[in-house]
């Protein structure tokens, strides 16, 4: 089996770094993201939930970083499936919260990034599969 493609490697590194940045922001400055979304930061409940989300972002970042050189395999597929599921559910949740008026339109850039990352991973993995099938 071949090593990971360059596209997969760069996409996992980029995504991992993005998730590490989000983890730091959620841990130490959750009010920053919440303000962009039009959500009041009370320091209590919203702070607690934001800080508890930080390790989840960090954990996903670690999984992606460690998978960056993995060749196509069931384990790598599981990591990608988990990441795509995470991104798409976050995007769906963001859209629902926006539609019902719980957040402002400031959530839409986050939704766009989440959908974009999910589609990018699906595209890269599918392209690798087509290449492997030909070779």
Nearest to 34 by CA among 22, 17, 16, 18: 22
What is the sign of the dihedral through the CA atoms of 41, 43, 44 and 45?
A: positive
Residue 3 has pLDDT above 60, yes or no: yes
Q: How far apart are CA 62 and CA 92, in angstroms?
A: 24
Q: What is the mean pLDDT of the chain?
A: 92
Q: How far apart are CA 120 and CA 114, in angstroms?
A: 10
List, for residues 27-48, the tens digit of each pLDDT value.
Answer: 999 999 899 999 988 888 888 8
List, for residues 77-110, the tens digit of each pLDDT value.
Answer: 999 999 999 999 999 999 999 999 999 999 999 9
């Amino acid at each position: 089996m071949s090593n990971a493609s360059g596209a997969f490697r760069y996409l996992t590194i980029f995504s991992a770094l993005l998730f590490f940045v989000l983890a730091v922001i959620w841990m130490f400055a959750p009010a920053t993201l919440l303000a962009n979304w039009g959500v009041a930061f009370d320091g209590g409940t919203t702070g607690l939930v934001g800080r508890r989300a930080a390790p989840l972002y960090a954990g996903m970042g670690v999984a992606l970083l460690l998978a960056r050189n993995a060749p196509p395999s069931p384990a790598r597929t599981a990591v990608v499936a988990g990441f795509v599921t995470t991104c798409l559910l976050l995007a769906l949740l963001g859209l629902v919260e926006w539609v019902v008026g719980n957040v402002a339109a400031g959530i839409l850039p986050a939704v766009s990034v989440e959908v974009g990352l999910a589609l990018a991973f699906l595209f890269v993995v599918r392209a690798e599969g087509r290449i492997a099938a030909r070779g």
